[in-house]
Amino acid sequence: MSETRELVREAAERLFEKHCSAETLRRADGGEFPQALWRALAQAGYTSALVPESAGGAGLEMSDALSLLISAGRHAVPAPLAETMLAGWLLSAAGIAVPEGPLTVAPVRAGDSLSAKRDGAGWRIDGTASRVPWARQCGTIAVLADTGAGSLVALVAAADCEIRDGHNVAGEPRDELVFAAAKSLHAGASAVSAGALRALGAVMRSAQMAGALQSVLETSVQYARERVQFGRPIGRFQAVQQNLAVLAGQAAAATAAAEAAIEAAAQGLDSIAVAAAKIRAGEAAGIGAAIAHQVHGAIGFTQEHRLHYSTRRLWSWRDEFGNEAWWARRLGGEVAAAGPARLWQGITAAG
């Protein structure tokens, strides 16, 4: 880990510990946007971490910026930090000034596509994007659309879209956006493809899941030490110890995969490490969340306990920007296309 990354993570941990209290999570769960947390994120430069300094951003190296999301996942940050980082990266790559405030991107799901047509000096966007994160909480949306001759990045006001409210299992907004000749505020040609956008989103979700699994492990180990049953802490029972060992292995595997994808993403988003991370983190999310709730018993499902803020996000994030099955098909296709001569090199180099 670089010295810069270590310093960034330490500062992020302090910020998240201060602003992601149980009360903040509870209020966000009820639909209240965490304004104090968001101001702290913006002032620290985390929301513009992937925007170059020349464009007014923090200008962090991609690997350093993405590592922030492991800490964010650990604290179940109830705000569109990853989405705003992703939107800033997309907009700045197209030479578009990044506005202040929370941002999101569209489309985010495979199969969804938006089209762009000339309208005088500007562009109009048409199409429907489903399950867009945090759309109703954002004033503007970074859109990747197809002009028929290439990709176009456009900044669109949320007020120009029809927003149909939705949410994921964690209670985070996941809205359907209908663009009916929505006028772009700014637009620029871009070399970013829908696949690259989805890949960077997958790395971000992998990092968040790795952090959430770390938190789930810590919470479960602490509970097993404190919860007494049949005259001794449940952590002394072999079955519980075995389950916690499995959980620790899943958290470690997800973290290693996410870290590898973070490093690979800085070199290119077509790396098989991206697919491997989303597959492995998603698998770990399912196994890890199940074990954590087994250890906690009924109390882990109560609103008063903090565990569910992490596990509900794990269940949600594993399906976003491509689930394990989607990425496994893509990974398998790439390996098959590369042929047997490159199989061992691909497995050992993951690049």
Query: To which residue do tokens 């939705």 refer?
Result: 166
Closest by CA to 67, choosing from 17, 20, 1, is 1
Which residue, among 145, 161, 162, has the nearest Cα to 153 in the 3D structure? 145
Rounded CA-CA distance 258/70 in Å is 9
| C-beta atoms surrounding 237 within 10 Å | 14
Q: Which domain holds residue 124?
A: 3-190
Sole residue written with tokens 């180990």: 221
pLDDT digits 0-9 by tens, 115-159: 999 999 899 999 999 999 999 999 999 999 999 999 999 999 999
User: Alpha-carbon distance 188 to 152, whole Å?
Assistant: 6
Q: The domain that contains 309 carries what CATH number?
A: 1.20.140.10
Could you tell me if 104 and 32 lie in one domain? yes
**Per-residue DSSP letter, 228:** E
pLDDT tens, residue order, the chain (351 aa): 678 888 989 999 999 999 999 999 999 999 999 999 999 999 999 999 999 999 999 999 999 999 999 999 999 999 999 999 999 999 999 999 999 999 999 999 999 999 999 999 899 999 999 999 999 999 999 999 999 999 999 999 999 999 999 999 999 999 999 999 999 999 999 999 999 999 999 999 999 999 999 999 999 999 999 999 999 999 999 999 999 999 999 999 999 999 999 999 999 999 999 999 999 999 999 999 999 999 999 888 888 889 999 999 999 999 999 999 999 999 999 888 888 888 787 777 654
Residue pair 254/209 in contact by the 8 Å Cβ criterion:
yes
Q: Check whether residue 176 and residue 225 sit in a common domain.
A: no
CATH code, domain with 130: 2.40.110.10
If asked whether residues 223 and 182 sit together in one domain, one would say no
| Residue 160 shares a structural domain with residue 233 | no
Statement to judge: residues 175 and 202 lie in one domain: no
For residues 296 and 292, give the distance between their C-alpha atoms in angstroms, rounded to a whole number: 6
Total number of domains in the chain:
2
Task: State the amino acid at position 96 in one-letter form.
Answer: I
Residues 299, 225 share a domain: yes
Task: Indicate if 225 and 329 belong to the same structural domain.
Answer: yes
Per-residue confidence (pLDDT) for residue 220, from 0 to 100: 97
At 338 the pLDDT is 83
Q: Are 184 and 212 part of one and the same domain?
A: no
Could you give the C-alpha distances from 90 to 13, 81, 93, 186, 216, in angstroms and in order?
Answer: 26, 14, 5, 13, 32
126 and 259 part of one domain: no
Read off the pLDDT of residues 200-225 as tens digits, 9 standing for 90 and up: 999 999 999 999 999 999 999 999 99
